[in-house]
Amino acid sequence: MEDKVRYVARLARIKLTDEEVTLFSRQLDGILGYVDKLNQKLDVQNRTLPMSHPHEASNSFRADEVKPSLPPEKALSNAPQKKGDFFKVPRIIEE
């Protein structure tokens, strides 16, 4: 479980301390053990459709019309770091 927690924490981009890994592993074991009753006690028919949403009916479309954008200074007003009208992040190495 600890390896799995480390793998998942990396996917989720959250750094965990060793203590947190141990704690979360124990807690997740408990929660997953509880959740596993779905698999142990309940035999779900294959024909039961998975439900991703309470209503599966009509979608509301949007007409293809241009609406005003934010002024860049407003778009960037919450940015932790910016340069000019760009959001700034640590350099990304692509090669």
Question: Which residues 30-59 are close enough to bind other proteins by CB under 8 A?
Answer: 30-32, 34-35, 37-39, 42, 44, 48-59
Query: Does residue 18 bind other proteins (CB under 8 A)?
Result: no
Interface with other proteins, residue 61, by CB under 8 A: yes
Q: What CA–CA distances, in Å, run from 21 to 7, 10, 33?
A: 11, 12, 18
Q: Does 29 bind other proteins (CB under 8 A)?
A: no
| Selected binder of other proteins within 3, 18, 19, 65 (CB under 8 A) | 65
Contact 24, 40 (CB under 8 A): no
How far, in Å, are 11, 15, 32, 42 from residue 20 at the CA level? 16, 9, 17, 32
Q: Does 19 bind other proteins (CB under 8 A)?
A: no
Return the axis-axis angle of helices 2-11 and 18-35, rounded to nearest 10°. Answer: 100
Give yes or no for residue 78 binding other proteins (CB under 8 A).
yes
Q: Report, in Å, the least distance between residue 18 CB and other proteins.
A: 13
